Amino acid sequence: MRGRKELEKYWGRPYTDTRDWSIYNERLVRRGEFYLSLDFIDHWTDLVSRMNTGKPGRPFHYPEPFITWMAFIHVFLQMPYRQMEGFTRKLSIFIPSLVSADYTTLFRRIKRLDISLRVDPTILSRNVIIAVDSTGIKVTNRGEWMREKWRVRRGWIKVHAMIDIETNQILGLEVTDESVQDDARCIPLLDQVQQHCGREHTIRRLLADGAYDRNEIFNTLEKRGILSGIKTRTDAATRSTGSPYRAECVRERVRLGGYREWAQDIDYGMRWKAEGVFSSGKRIFGETVRATSKEGMIREVKMKMNCYNMLLTMVK
């Protein structure tokens, strides 16, 4: 791994930290307010009443915002469901209008929550630059020694995501097992990003490493009017072999003088924003999942990514 001086020599310029640290620190502090966002309590009766209007069978006793809040507590504080019952029981003593819930009800209601990716398009710029990458999530927290000793291998859960490099917001998300290759999920992710951006925001460029160097992806970018920031192979052909746009991008890299000049020209270094989001997510939520079924693991990871997006938008 290169040190700072080596990197400065390699890239020809030092890294300049332009953050306003007073604003940055305040955003981190305000994240703590997220845990106690209890605005729904004042509207508890009205919310439950609307949910039960025309509902056959057993009525609801807990509004959807309360269940969503408990899901956040479950994810952020990594609190088991039985402890969550005790948490609400004690909290209802201090807040009489809050009705405590048993753990089976919390489990069933949280399991039925809508976990589709939540995006706030109002904080996006007019021209959006996205970075795509993937990362692995461990499916067990047992140590490396245990895996080596007993030859236990349970694989990984793989998170594929497209990130807005300006706001760090996740605009596209796919969760698969480890067998799915990165490039196979690129176009479905791009579909999600365009849906979330709508007509008000244009995707200007896609930044990606060599794992996404595929003709199909280049052809899709050309068709949709998105500039490529995909790192092509050093021995890539400069003539069309299935994708004229890819060949054009290779010729542009050669014209600029090589990879280093190409990377500086398109600001390829901003691709690290995707790795930064994954790193932040793992620091906040941990590197493992607690669910045991594959479906449960995927739901848990999606809930965590949704919480990350909401955490970003509430402190902007």
119-129, pLDDT tens digit by residue? 999 889 999 99
Q: What is the mean pLDDT of the chain?
A: 86
Q: All domains of the chain, ordered by start, with CATH? A: 27-111 (no CATH), 121-302 (3.30.420)
Residue 63's pLDDT is what? 93
Q: What is the model's pLDDT at position 188?
A: 95
144-148, 168-172, 198-202, 207-211: least confident range: 144-148
C-alpha dihedral (227, 231, 235, 240), degrees to nearest 10: -20
Residue % of the chain over a pLDDT of 70: 89
Q: Any residues with CB less than 8 A from the CB of 113 and at least 6 apart, and which?
A: 67, 68, 71, 303
- With a cut of 80, say whether residue 199 has pLDDT above it: yes
Instruction: Give the pLDDT score at 313.
Output: 74
**pLDDT reported for residue 22:** 85
- pLDDT at position 213 is 95
pLDDT at position 1 is 46
Residue 110 φ/ψ, nearest 5 degrees: -65, -35
Residue-level pLDDT at 265: 93
Distance CA 99, CA 70 (A): 12
Report the predicted TM-score, pTM, of the whole model to 2 decimal places: 0.84
